[in-house]
Amino acid sequence: MHKDFAEWYRSAGITPNGEMLPKRWAAIEEYQPEPDEIVSLARLFCRLGKPNDAFLNAFRASFQKTDPAFPMRDNDQELVVLAGAELVDTLQRGTVNVADFAALSVTCAAAQNMRGTPAVADIPEIAASYLSVRSIDRAVDGDGYGPGNTALFAALTTLGAPHDGVPKEFERLQRELSVASEESNILWWLFSEYSRDLKQPWKKFGVPAVTLMAGKELADLTRVIPGPVAAVAFLDRVIRCAKSKPPSSILVTDAIKGTTPEWRQQYVGQGCPAQIEDLLPIGHGLKISLMSPDEAAWVSAFTQATGIQADVELSPNVLAYQLFLEALLCRAWKAVT
């Protein structure tokens, strides 16, 4: 059982029961969520819309197996805690690609607290810490998405003794090469001070537009999820190419409308799978902005769909990082489904 499980209950305003907690955690360990269930867990934890009834019934039933007295209704706040705990357990015990997907799901859904502080604030922080550690160790621990050259890897696995260690070493070298290539490409991108997509220097664009454009382009350059550990610093460097002293914060809606409709159309066309759309507040906002030429109309629709108010501000590099993570979540979704 996680050492802070009881504290998560208290954070959500629920007094934990010493007899109940082991039963709850036993159910959490037994439950092995599929990718679509991880999405539902993130929605439930972050209170995004009405949860799917079939998922809720199955999730509740999993706890009734270890505790026949577990309530099947009127325990919504406890379900939020249990959804968060299930996500944390997935980070700790899931395969690497599934754990990456779970961490990105809860981090993107929490949206830098733009939607308000979650019932258990520790859990998005645990997910963010997981991504940070994975960024440091991704060349060593593997990215969970298999070797780059699958045909060669398959051939190496047939060698047998005394060459049993060759496939594992091949995978490690492939990962290190991918990370080294990624870092080299990012270095040249930073040094050039040019947008890769629009082939123009960053200084030709305003800070709001560069904020989102930089997040997208860094994600394009990322070869190994969850990306470089210095991603926020890289994004800050690009934003300062647009303006040496950028504002301390910008409106999220200003960042969206600062980009051209053509750029938004390209971004939406490349990503934003409908199945995880509500976990992608900025990507979803870009899509909504294309649905109406009237700014007031789409801003109102954006607020209603995402729960992010029109007057919410973030520092430019943090907003850029949010879109960067959302773009990686889209790729992770495709990898696990």
Asked if residue 112 lies in contact with residue 325, where contact means CB atoms within 8 angstroms, the answer is no
Per the structure block, which two tokens stand in for 267?
A: 């971004």
Packed helices 166-192 and 122-141: angle between N→C axes, nearest 10 degrees: 110
CA 109 from chain centre, in angstroms, equals: 7
Q: Residue 166: its pLDDT value, please?
A: 66
pLDDT over 60 (residue 93): yes
When pLDDT is cut at 50, 70 and 90, the band that residue 138 belongs to is confident
Q: Residue 200: its pLDDT value, please?
A: 96
Residue 252 C-beta-side C-alpha neighbours within 13 Å: 30
The kind and range of the H/E element at 248 are none
DSSP H helices, the chain, are: 5-11, 20-30, 35-46, 53-64, 76-93, 96-110, 122-141, 150-156, 166-192, 207-221, 231-242, 252-258, 261-270, 281-289, 295-306, 316-336
Closest CA to 324 of 233, 245, 262: 233
Closest CA to 204 of 236, 243, 246: 243
Residue 156 lies in a domain: no
pLDDT over 70 (residue 10): yes
When pLDDT is cut at 50, 70 and 90, the band that residue 141 belongs to is low
* Domain total in the chain: 2
Per the structure block, which two tokens stand in for 177?
A: 């090469």
Q: Tens of pLDDT along 244-284? A: 999 999 999 999 999 999 999 999 998 778 999 999 999 99
Closest CA to 100 of 152, 59, 141: 141
Shared domain for 197 and 283, answered yes or no, is yes
Q: Residue 272: its pLDDT value, please?
A: 78
pTM value is 0.91
Q: Residue 122: its pLDDT value, please?
A: 95
Percent of the chain residues topping a pLDDT of 90? 76
User: Which is more confidently placed, 219 or 293?
Assistant: 219
241 lies in which domain range?
179-336
- What torsion, rounded to 10 degrees, do the Cα atoms 176, 178, 179, 183 define? 140
Q: Residue 199: its pLDDT value, please?
A: 96
When pLDDT is cut at 50, 70 and 90, the band that residue 152 belongs to is low
User: Which is more confidently placed, 271 or 39?
Assistant: 39
Residue 308 lies in a domain: yes
Shared domain for 201 and 331, answered yes or no, is yes
Shared domain for 274 and 320, answered yes or no, is yes
When pLDDT is cut at 50, 70 and 90, the band that residue 189 belongs to is very high
Q: Residue 156: its pLDDT value, please?
A: 58
Shared domain for 223 and 92, answered yes or no, is no
Residue 84 lies in a domain: yes
Q: Tens of pLDDT along 173-184? A: 777 788 888 999
- Measured distance between the N- and C-terminal CA atoms of the chain, rounded to whole angstroms: 29
- Which whole number is the average pLDDT over 282-296? 92
Q: Residue 270: its pLDDT value, please?
A: 86
Shared domain for 132 and 183, answered yes or no, is no
Shared domain for 194 and 312, answered yes or no, is yes
Q: Residue 49: its pLDDT value, please?
A: 85
DSSP 15: -
Q: Residue 229: its pLDDT value, please?
A: 93
- Which whole number is the average pLDDT over 100-115? 96
Residue 150 lies in a domain: no
When pLDDT is cut at 50, 70 and 90, the band that residue 314 belongs to is very high
Least confident of 51-55, 87-91, 127-131: 51-55
The DSSP secondary structure of 162-211, one letter per residue, reads T-TTHHHHHHHHHHHHHHHHHHHHHHHHHHHTB-TTT-SBGGGS-HHHHH
pLDDT over 60 (residue 144): no
Percent of the chain residues topping a pLDDT of 70? 91
Q: Residue 31: its pLDDT value, please?
A: 95
Residue 101 lies in a domain: yes
> Which of 115, 141, 167 is the last residue in one of the domains?
141
CA 111 from chain centre, in angstroms, equals: 9
Residue 26 lies in a domain: yes
Residue 164 lies in a domain: no
Shared domain for 190 and 303, answered yes or no, is yes
When pLDDT is cut at 50, 70 and 90, the band that residue 52 belongs to is confident
Shared domain for 263 and 316, answered yes or no, is yes
Shared domain for 185 and 134, answered yes or no, is no
Residue 172 lies in a domain: no
pLDDT over 90 (residue 162): no
DSSP 16: -
Shared domain for 278 and 134, answered yes or no, is no
The kind and range of the H/E element at 72 are none
When pLDDT is cut at 50, 70 and 90, the band that residue 153 belongs to is low
Shared domain for 290 and 240, answered yes or no, is yes
Q: Residue 11: its pLDDT value, please?
A: 95
Q: Residue 167: its pLDDT value, please?
A: 67
Shared domain for 234 and 289, answered yes or no, is yes
Asked if residue 255 lies in contact with residue 209, where contact means CB atoms within 8 angstroms, the answer is yes
